[in-house]
Structure 1
Amino acid sequence: MIAKPPPAFLPGRPDRVRISFSVLLRLVEDDGFVLFDAPKRPGAFGPPGGVVKYFPPAGRILESLGFQPERTGSPQRKLRADLRGILPAGALRRFRVWFASGAYRETADECLRRELCEELAEVGIHGLDEVVSELKFTSVRTIQEGPHSVPGKNYRQLRGFDVRELAMTNSAARRLNRTLADAATDDAYPGVLLAGFDDIAHGRLDRALIAPQSAFLLGPARLAPDLPPLR
């Protein structure tokens, strides 16, 4: 008798879809891109940014769609109100309509400003909150992946990545860009690095792994599978 494979290796269930919508910041210095150490994936570096959050009125809308928020993550970085979790497949069309409306959720710019304040502190760069509040951004590209099956998971997955870059229209943008470019080449800030096109395509720079979503800084194609996060 042939043993059945364990549940972890069954195909993704068509009735469950994991969603995750993020904003990434492309910061270019010469031929390199500024990347930050990722707390959920120690030793891996990716673009500044993170998952879009929703506001309290959206909680009722998402609850009516059967949304189950994802609750993994370290105690230091809670995932409250993140647009990351499981939806019934039948609710996906209505979710897309709501997301596209922009109602009761962060804009891309709001998400980036919040994430930058958090992540700058994590990599040891302080005193720039006022600078961050003055930043504006322009769109580079928007990528949607899926929904498709995920090896080893019992769901399909739909992800969106909104890639933005600094609008270099004021002194705040120039100051942030200069500060991060300097930090990326300063040993005093090991949580910041500058990675070139070839480094991102290869997925490693010296001892540092480069998170696969970094490829979206270069173009719309993913070049490597995901790295598993901390639980």
Structure 2
Amino acid sequence: MIVKPPPVFLPSRRDRVRISFSVLLRLADDDRFVLFDAPKRPGAFGPPGGVIKFFPPAARILDALGFQPERTGSPHHKLRADLRGTLPAGAVRRFRTWFASGAYREAADECLRRELREELAEVGVHGLGRTVSELEFALVRTVREGPRPVPGKNYRQLRGFEVRELAMTNSAARRLSRALAEAGEDEAYPGVLLADFDDIAHGRSNRALIAPQSAFLVGPSRLAPDLPPLR
């Protein structure tokens, strides 16, 4: 009896690929990491940071590639110009080339500074927004996932995560690190959590869920599937 191998999936140019490119901040307090409450996934905590945004001159480039921005989840004004959406499969290689050039999009440090200003206010840690512009960051690792099928979805997904850590080169960095470590210990700041590797691997710290991208703080592989966002 001859057993035929399973058919190989060869995507057509009409197939769409979901893309999402983000920057994450690794901020450690001894063996624990600072995580923030994630508005799109209430009750779940993940690293500070977020999706990279593109600048107006890139809109024409992305339109030519067939990019369709994602408009679900958070209020639309917060998603404007996010590098999160879908592309025709045949445009993925050209998108990678454009993204690697860095043209007309946020650099990783720009993205982190913008996100920190927003997220510090969201988690109730005030008084540090003005110092964010003084922060510097160092690359920890870059993770690329896909394009790969997504269980239960009719698309494949390509994602990029750039993990950076705070460079302790000035008083602003030391002040931010100290304030967030203290907030993670203080019940008055429920939006800030300190989680160690065991918590991240387990996916929960007491009642709090831990978003699976938190695993990139300690290594290049995720340890659990995604949590569904609000729609």
Taking the TM superposition and a 5 Å limit, the aligned residue runs for 1:1-231 are: 15-75=15-75, 78-231=78-231
Between 1:126-135 and 1:161-170, the stretch displaced more is: 126-135
CA contact (8 A) 1:34 1:194 kept: yes
- In structure 2, runs of 5+ residues without a counterpart are 1-8
Q: State the shift of 1:195 in Å.
A: 0.2
Are the equivalent residues in 2 in contact too, given 1:23–1:108 (CA < 8 A)?
Answer: yes
TM-score, normalised relative to structure 2: 0.93
- Partner amino acid, structure 1, of 2:228: P
Please give the secondary structure, in 2, of the residue aligned with 1:120: helix
Amino acid at match of 1:34: V
Which residue pairs with 2:4 in the alignment? Answer: none
What secondary structure is seen at the aligned counterpart in 2 of 1:172? helix
- Hey, what's the Cα distance between the residues in 2 that align with 1:167 and 1:41? 29
Change (3 A) 1:33 1:199: same
CA distance, structure 1, for counterparts of residue 144 and residue 153 of structure 2: 19
Amino acid at match of 1:208: A
Q: TM-score, normalised by structure 1?
A: 0.93
Q: Any unmatched runs of 5+ in structure 1? A: 1-10
Runs of 4+ in 1 over 2 A off after TM superposition: 11-14, 74-78
CA distance in 2 between counterparts of 1:157 and 1:12 reads: 15
- Distance across 1 between alignment mates of 2:217 and 2:74: 27
1:78 Cα deviation after fit = 2.5
Structure 1: how far apart are the matches of 2:164 and 2:200?
18
Q: 1:167 to 1:32 in 2, by over 3 A?
A: same
In the TM superposition, residue 12 of structure 1 has moved relative to its aligned partner by 11
Q: The residue matched to 1:142 in structure 2 has which SS?
A: strand
Deviation at residue 74 of structure 1 after TM alignment: 2.8
- Over the residues paired in the alignment, what is the CA RMSD in angstroms? 1.4
Q: SS in structure 2 opposite 1:87?
A: strand
Taking the aligned partners of 2:53 and 2:227, their CA distance within structure 1 comes to 22
8 A Cα contact 1:148 1:158, kept in partner: yes
Give the partner amino acid of 1:29.
Answer: D
Q: Is the 8 A contact 1:12 1:156 kept in 2?
A: no
Whole-angstrom CA distance in 2 between matches of 1:164 and 1:71 = 27
Give the residue type in structure 2 aligned to 1:194.
L
Query: For 1:74 and 1:48, how far apart are their aligned partners in 2?
Result: 16
Following the alignment from structure 1 to structure 2, what is the Cα–Cα distance between the partners of residues 113 and 62? 24
Q: Aligned partners of 2:63, 2:47: CA distance in 1, in Å? A: 31
Q: Contact 1:12 / 1:150 at 8 angstroms: preserved in 2?
A: no
What is the number of equivalent residue pairs in this alignment?
A: 221
What is the rounded CA distance, in whole Å, between the counterparts of 2:46 and 2:116 in structure 1?
13
Amino acid of the structure 1 residue aligned with 2:79? L
CA distance in 1 between counterparts of 2:33 and 2:88 reads 37
